[in-house]
Chain A
Amino acid sequence: MKDFTDLALEKAKQLGATYADIRILTQHQESVRTKNGNVESMGSSVSKGFGVRVLHDGAWGFASSSDLNETQVRGVTAEAVSIAKASATVKRARDVELSAVDPVVSKWESKFRIDPFSVKAEDKIGLLLEADSLVRRNKQVRVASGSMWCLREDKLFASTEGSYIEQVKTEVGAGIEATATDGRELQRRSYPNSAGGDCAAAGYEFVLGMGLADHAETIASEAVELLSARQCPGTETDLILDGSQLGLQIHESCGHPIELDRVFGQEASYAGTSFLTTEKQGTFRYGSEIVNIVADATIPGGLGSFAYDDEGVPAQRTVIVDDGMFKNYLSSRETAFELGQESSGAMRADGWNRTPIIRMTNINLEPGDWTLDEMIKDTKQGIYMETNKSWSIDDRRLNFQFGTEVAYEIKDGSIGAMLKNPNYTGLTHEFWRSCDAVGNKDEWRLWGLANCGKGEPGQVAHVGHGAAPARFRNVKVGVGRWT
């Protein structure tokens, strides 16, 4: 492969590029989906190709192709330069400059115990269909479904600054769902999380550890119970969120607004900008004093973990919110330079055919001191919500509204009746400032999220969120007309 990377980088330099990098990728994926006792689909896919990114005359160009040979490498590199020349005709007063990074030659592989690609198809199918059958023991369940996937990404990065980095990452994910309906109401419960379950940079041992079959009957009975549960009331009350929902809350209201490309308007016309403008760095109270959030790409097993980002910057642990104060952004070499800082190593591309953009790594709420039981016992009147169902947030990441699959009322320190169609809403900083209890390290776990969309053309990132349950005071719940 070095022949190809050298060819691209030399060609780019010959054509006048001041910087160039090339990524050569192969992605293998296998997936299974089951529904009501049948294997709905089972497939495997391979995607191979390369992308060349260049800086020429102070502006960016990127070109890519699925066809890896010498002619294509030359042609794609020349196209990237010609695109950069077009970019330079509508550029800023100053050229793009990059924060410094040491060149590195390195190899890295994520760890796993059981290679998911070596597991027999019948074992994967059997695991999902066992859970499916247990869900359907409950005759009021209309649809039982399950899914499982594994991905191996083999990536080579080389740059004109001398980096040559090979990384291999293996990921797995799985989950089950039960949907019940009585014609007027439709309710769903998922395990271990909604939107396809949970996922990690791990092997098949991660899927086995979920115990899907052990939870199948519970989600079935909860989905059915929800059909006749009381509607979540519209009120302001204390709210406790489970770790999985809190993971998505962190994702939308912290992870996205700290992306420095958003702050600089580079997503303005699509997903929006950010309320965390640069004058707020170090001075803005994001949350209460017990809110501590880090971006950590170094955690073993994290879906947002790696050794080097797609600019060859080493994976890092960056403090984002310290005792409630906003401290740092997720950044790239270009955006960090704008602030006179170093890149936090957050540039990642969704495959060979996309240029890197700033993506979340593992954005984690650090553990506090509480157990969930203690939190509930300490709550006189409130609601506990679990497992995401819907999500929405404004284009500066301030006003959010989330729905969850299930909720329970809390009265005088005890869990009470089940509530259906729960949702809650608020403004990001008001919400996080109202946080007065965070679960301890025994309650904390790292969730994987494999569907984070951003960018034009669209890119999907695999990211992680560590969270324990947490409590928020006086939150508006039960929004909307439900009768």
Chain B
Amino acid sequence: MDVRISNAERVELLGRQKALEIVDKAIRHSPGDLTEVIIRGGVSRLTRFTENYIHQNVSEVNQGISVKVIFGKKIGVASTNSLDEQSLREAVENAARIAKLQKPNEDFEGIPEPEDVPEVDAFSENTYAFSAMDRAHAVKAVIDKAKSKGFKAAGAFSTDAGELCVANSLGIRAYFPSTTASLSTVVMSETSSGYASARATDVAEISAGEVGRKAAEKCAMGENPVSIGAGEYEVILEPLAVVDMLTYLAWMGFSAQAVRDGRSFVSGKLGQKLFSDRFTFWDDGLDKRGFPMPFDLEGVPKSKVVMVENGVASELVYDIKNARKEGRKSTGHGGFGGWGPMAVNLFMAGGSDSVEDMIKKTGRGILVTRFHYTNPAHPIKMLITGMTRDGTFLIEDGKITRPVKNLRFTESALRVFGTMDMVGKDMVRAGRTVAPAIRVPAFTFTGTTEF
């Protein structure tokens, strides 16, 4: 896969050949025993709107190169966003100078050998060519839906066209161009708000009017919410709320580094049943239902890693360091520095129920559209706190009866995915995660607010 360099005067994208020339040059200049080079960059454009008008509209072109020079186990890193010959040499010399001043890092396990990297087509000319005026038209389509109900829309429409090139002195030469288009909106009335979003490789797959319609409908459903007390409720978490919890679960639990550091709830429990039979959860960087990425920031091809299968904690994600310490192969999840490996292309298995089925099965419960400002309170207990936002509803006797004011929850993700009793059949893609809605028989809300 390569990209078309459409703007000869302004270098927005390098293209495969130019990117590889630059990384080759950096590796040739390097005096190190080993060298790793990463180029990341491209063009990012974004239009923001609020109160039914555009208030911010920006564009950025940037390419950065990071050079890691290694002498024995002494490592130095330098980066720059100037790709000219002199800057490149300075970056290499800087990295070498830092490495020479270092103490050996006894934790260092080398750099990866080259492997075949699968081709993934994730670049859309439509998205790359999408202009500020195109974004304005799309934003207007969202605003028109809000206005039609007497509401106000806020949100952002962004398009990115980027390149990632990872190379090392053992022969890795991996190049991946990609595009992303993303539209999100919060439509607001005097007393409520509704959220909707869409994200795609090809901007043509995004219907701005549909995003506006969904958000406006949710906003209308939520008007004049009533206060409800905190406490334990049956709960239906729509996919966006599930995605929030899955992200913490993967980040804090299923990294080999987190397990080695003893900060993961999976430590000492691999192979044990920690969740509901209904819960299967994996990472797959090659599945096009998500946002694929064929290799990691160490240049290792992505492997599918099933982290939970029918409730059993089964596999962890690895980078090169953690893999070699355990005599295993990297799964292609490296390059996040001190955090260790991370799963970033998440999928949860769907079930057979619709959200309507879940509502019918609920005696007295809460339907949550999404969460806001979630934060882990305890990594081993997987206790997470956060607020509901943009559509929270009371369910009584199998029906949504009233919108309610937002609630704070403080709940364990282990309990949520351990006790869920219904799983949605409709999958939603949010960020890099694909997830269904779920129903949980008991979920702890610990606070209330004024709206």
Interface residues, chain A, CB within 8 Å of chain B?
33, 35-49, 59-67, 71-72, 75-76, 79-80, 82-87, 89-92, 120-122, 125, 129, 142-143, 145, 179, 181, 183-186, 264-266, 268-270, 272, 275, 353-355, 357, 389-396, 398-399, 401, 403, 421, 423, 425, 427, 456-457, 476, 479-482
Known A268-B50, A268-B188; contact A482-B381, beta-carbon cutoff 8 A: yes
Measured between alpha carbons, how far is A33 from B261 in the docked complex, in Å?
16
Task: Please state if B10 and A395 are interface contacts (CB–CB under 8 Å).
Answer: no
Task: Please state if B184 and A49 are interface contacts (CB–CB under 8 Å).
Answer: no
Interface residues in B93-122 (C-beta closer than 8 Å to A):
94-95, 98, 101-103, 105-107
Distance (whole angstroms) from the CB of B129 to the closest CB of chain A: 14
Interface residues in B414-451 (C-beta closer than 8 Å to A):
444, 446-451
Task: Please state if B102 and A39 are interface contacts (CB–CB under 8 Å).
Answer: yes
Measured between alpha carbons, how far is A427 from B387 in the docked complex, in Å?
13
- List, in ascending order, chain A residues with CB within 8 A of B154's CB: 265-266, 268-269
Distance (whole angstroms) from the CB of B13 to the closest CB of chain A: 13
- List, in ascending order, chain B residues with CB within 8 A of A83's CB: 57-59, 132
Least CB separation from B137: chain A residue: A89
Determine, out of B28-36, B220-228, B281-289, B404-412, the stretch whose residues face the partner at the interface.
Answer: B404-412
- List, in ascending order, chain B residues with CB within 8 A of A394's CB: 372-373, 387, 389, 406, 408, 449
Determine, out of B75-83, B163-171, B323-331, the stretch whose residues face the partner at the interface.
Answer: B75-83
Task: Please state if A66 and B81 are interface contacts (CB–CB under 8 Å).
Answer: yes
Task: Please state if B10 and A62 are interface contacts (CB–CB under 8 Å).
Answer: no
Does B204 reach chain A (CB closer than 8 Å)? Answer: no
Give 18 A-B pairs besides A41-B77, A76-B10 with Cβ atoms closer than 8 angstroms.
A39-B105, A43-B78, A45-B80, A47-B81, A49-B62, A71-B9, A83-B132, A87-B47, A91-B53, A353-B62, A354-B58, A392-B387, A393-B387, A401-B408, A421-B377, A479-B385, A480-B385, A480-B410
- List, in ascending order, chain B residues with CB within 8 A of A87's CB: 47, 54, 57, 132, 136
- List, in ascending order, chain A residues with CB within 8 A of B107's CB: 35-36, 38, 40
Does B175 reach chain A (CB closer than 8 Å)? Answer: no
Q: Kindly supply a per-residue 1/0 record for chain B positions 58-70, scoring 1 wherever the CB is within 8 Å of any chain A CB and 0 otherwise.
A: 1111111010000
Task: Please state if A392 and B373 are interface contacts (CB–CB under 8 Å).
Answer: yes
Distance (whole angstroms) from the CB of B342 to the closest CB of chain A: 16
Distance (whole angstroms) from the CB of B239 to the closest CB of chain A: 18
Does B24 reach chain A (CB closer than 8 Å)? Answer: no
Interface residues, chain B, CB within 8 Å of chain A?
9-11, 44, 46-64, 66, 75-82, 87, 91, 94-95, 98, 101-103, 105-107, 131-133, 135-136, 139-140, 143, 152, 154-156, 158, 184-186, 188, 195, 261-263, 267-268, 337-338, 372-381, 383, 385-387, 389, 406, 408, 410-412, 444, 446-451
5 contacts between A and B (CB under 8 A): A71-B10, A183-B267, A268-B154, A393-B373, A394-B406
Q: Which one, A41, A46, A425, contacts B337 given CB within 8 A?
A: A41
Measured between alpha carbons, how far is A294 from B98 in the docked complex, in Å?
42
Task: Please state if A142 and B261 are interface contacts (CB–CB under 8 Å).
Answer: yes
Task: Please state if B261 and A42 are interface contacts (CB–CB under 8 Å).
Answer: no
Most chain B C-beta atoms within 10 Å of own C-beta, residue among A59, A63, A87 = A87
- List, in ascending order, chain A residues with CB within 8 A of B195's CB: 269
Task: Please state if A264 and B79 are interface contacts (CB–CB under 8 Å).
Answer: no
Measured between alpha carbons, how far is A270 from B450 in the docked complex, in Å?
19
Measured between alpha carbons, how far is A36 from B98 in the docked complex, in Å?
20
Task: Please state if A355 and B263 are interface contacts (CB–CB under 8 Å).
Answer: no
- List, in ascending order, chain A residues with CB within 8 A of B79's CB: 43-46
Most chain B C-beta atoms within 10 Å of own C-beta, residue among A48, A80, A390 = A390
Task: Please state if A186 and B51 are interface contacts (CB–CB under 8 Å).
Answer: no
Task: Please state if A79 and B59 are interface contacts (CB–CB under 8 Å).
Answer: yes
Distance (whole angstroms) from the CB of A420 to the closest CB of chain B: 10
Distance (whole angstroms) from the CB of B393 to the closest CB of chain A: 17
Q: Which one, A60, A62, A401, contacts B410 given CB within 8 A?
A: A401
Q: How many A-B residue pairs have CB under 8 A?
A: 281
Measured between alpha carbons, how far is A67 from B376 in the docked complex, in Å?
40
Task: Please state if A39 and B60 are interface contacts (CB–CB under 8 Å).
Answer: no
Distance (whole angstroms) from the CB of A394 to the closest CB of chain B: 4
- List, in ascending order, chain B residues with CB within 8 A of A482's CB: 378, 381, 383
Known A46-B79, A125-B103; contact A89-B263, beta-carbon cutoff 8 A: no
Least CB separation from A268: chain B residue: B154
Q: Which one, B46, B139, B156, B376, contacts A90 given CB within 8 A?
A: B139
Task: Please state if A90 and B373 are interface contacts (CB–CB under 8 Å).
Answer: no
Measured between alpha carbons, how far is A72 from B9 in the docked complex, in Å?
8
Known A47-B64, A90-B140, A391-B375; contact A59-B50, beta-carbon cutoff 8 A: no
Least CB separation from A147: chain B residue: B338
Chain B binding surface SS class = strand
Measured between alpha carbons, how far is A336 from B239 in the docked complex, in Å?
40
Distance (whole angstroms) from the CB of B184 to the closest CB of chain A: 6
Task: Please state if B338 and A41 are interface contacts (CB–CB under 8 Å).
Answer: yes
Distance (whole angstroms) from the CB of A321 to the closest CB of chain B: 19
Task: Please state if A91 and B448 are interface contacts (CB–CB under 8 Å).
Answer: no
Most chain A C-beta atoms within 10 Å of own C-beta, residue among B91, B185, B378, B406 = B378
Known A42-B102, A66-B62, A89-B140; contact A390-B385, beta-carbon cutoff 8 A: yes
Least CB separation from B182: chain A residue: A456
Q: Which one, A45, A61, A457, contacts B60 given CB within 8 A?
A: A457
Task: Please state if B338 and A90 are interface contacts (CB–CB under 8 Å).
Answer: no
Measured between alpha carbons, how far is A369 from B380 in the docked complex, in Å?
41
Task: Please state if B94 and A44 are interface contacts (CB–CB under 8 Å).
Answer: yes
Task: Please state if B63 and A90 are interface contacts (CB–CB under 8 Å).
Answer: no
Measured between alpha carbons, how far is A35 from B82 in the docked complex, in Å?
31
Least CB separation from B134: chain A residue: A86
Task: Please state if A46 and B449 are interface contacts (CB–CB under 8 Å).
Answer: no
Measured between alpha carbons, how far is A36 from B383 in the docked complex, in Å?
27
Task: Please state if B373 and A142 are interface contacts (CB–CB under 8 Å).
Answer: no
Known A64-B61, A186-B380, A265-B154; contact A82-B132, beta-carbon cutoff 8 A: yes
Least CB separation from A395: chain B residue: B372
Task: Please state if A425 and B57 are interface contacts (CB–CB under 8 Å).
Answer: no
Measured between alpha carbons, how far is A200 from B451 in the docked complex, in Å?
37
- List, in ascending order, chain B residues with CB within 8 A of A354's CB: 58, 60
Task: Please state if A480 and B446 are interface contacts (CB–CB under 8 Å).
Answer: yes
Task: Please state if B450 and A398 are interface contacts (CB–CB under 8 Å).
Answer: yes
Q: Which one, B91, B106, B381, B387, contacts A395 given CB within 8 A?
A: B387
Known A45-B79, A396-B451; contact A65-B101, beta-carbon cutoff 8 A: no
Q: Which one, A40, A49, A92, contacts B338 given CB within 8 A?
A: A40
Least CB separation from B10: chain A residue: A75
- List, in ascending order, chain A residues with CB within 8 A of B376's CB: 390
Distance (whole angstroms) from the CB of A312 to the closest CB of chain B: 19
Distance (whole angstroms) from the CB of B109 to the closest CB of chain A: 12
- List, in ascending order, chain A residues with CB within 8 A of B261's CB: 142-143, 179
Task: Please state if A272 and B446 are interface contacts (CB–CB under 8 Å).
Answer: no
Q: Which one, B267, B383, B446, contacts A425 given CB within 8 A?
A: B446
Least CB separation from B372: chain A residue: A395
Measured between alpha carbons, how far is A401 from B185 in the docked complex, in Å?
26
Least CB separation from A391: chain B residue: B375
Q: Which one, B76, B185, B375, B448, contacts A43 given CB within 8 A?
A: B76
